Structure 1
Amino acid sequence: MEIQVENIKCGGCAGTIKKNMLNDSRVSGVEVDIEQGMVIIDSADDARADFSAALLKMGYPESGTAEGLAAAKAKAKSFVSCAVGKVDNMVNK
């Protein structure tokens, strides 16, 4: 399934999304298209609402779902997720 999200800026963001989504046993694969802001999730379960909620918790809300304070909060979380992803990428090289 494809979920269009906001706040994806770099490979650090993509790494964080992949790592966290793969922790869900229902997810067999994850791809992130940074330029398009798209998260592609391979899963036998139709758990779109759960996956969207997990992405929101990381700071990457489904496009058009977060406004005002919720959007600002998601953006702040995405900056933290991005930084963590960059550090993880550097450590794992």
Structure 2
Amino acid sequence: MKIAVENIKCGGCAGTITKKLAATFNTTKIEVNIEQGIISIDLDESKKDELVQVLLALGYPETDSVHGFGSAKAKAKSFVSCAIGKMDQ
């Protein structure tokens, strides 16, 4: 499955996303395209809603799914996730 998300800026973001998704969905088949903001994961389509919620909690909402305050909140969360990903490298 592929999903386009907002707020991916660097390898720190990608690291946090990969680590959380691997733990949550018990898969190592995860690719994060930083430039395009696309996450590819070996996951059944029936798990999409759960995937969207996990990514939103990290600050990486599905593209065009949040607006206004929700968008600002997601952006703030993504900065924290990014920093944590950079420290884990």
In the superposition, the TM-score normalised over structure 2's length comes to 0.94
| Structure 2 unaligned spans of 5+ | none
1:88 maps to which residue?
88
Alpha-carbon distance between aligned partners in 2 of 1:87 and 1:80, rounded to the nearest angstrom:
11
Contact 1:28 1:43 in 2 (8 A): no
Instruction: State how many pairs are aligned.
Output: 89
Per-residue displacement from partner, 1:35-70 (whole Å, max 9, x unpaired)? Answer: 000011112463011001100000000000010000
Opposite residue 43 of structure 1, the aligned amino acid is L
Q: Kindly, what percent of the aligned residue pairs are identical?
A: 52
The structure with the larger Rg is 1
Which is helix-richer, 1 or 2? 2
Partner of 1:66: 66
1:25 is displaced (CA, Å) by 3.5
Question: Using a 3 Å threshold, how does the CA distance of structure 1 residues 54 and 47 change in structure 2: closer, same or farther?
Answer: same
Higher strand share: 1
Q: Letter of the aligned partner of 2:40 in structure 1? A: I
Counterparts of 1:1-93 in structure 2, within 5 Å, are 1-44=1-44, 46-89=46-89
Q: State the one-letter code of the partner of 1:23.
A: A
Cα contact 1:7–1:75 (8 A) shared by 2? yes
Unaligned runs of 5+ in 1: none
Q: Over aligned residues, Cα RMSD in angstroms?
A: 1.3
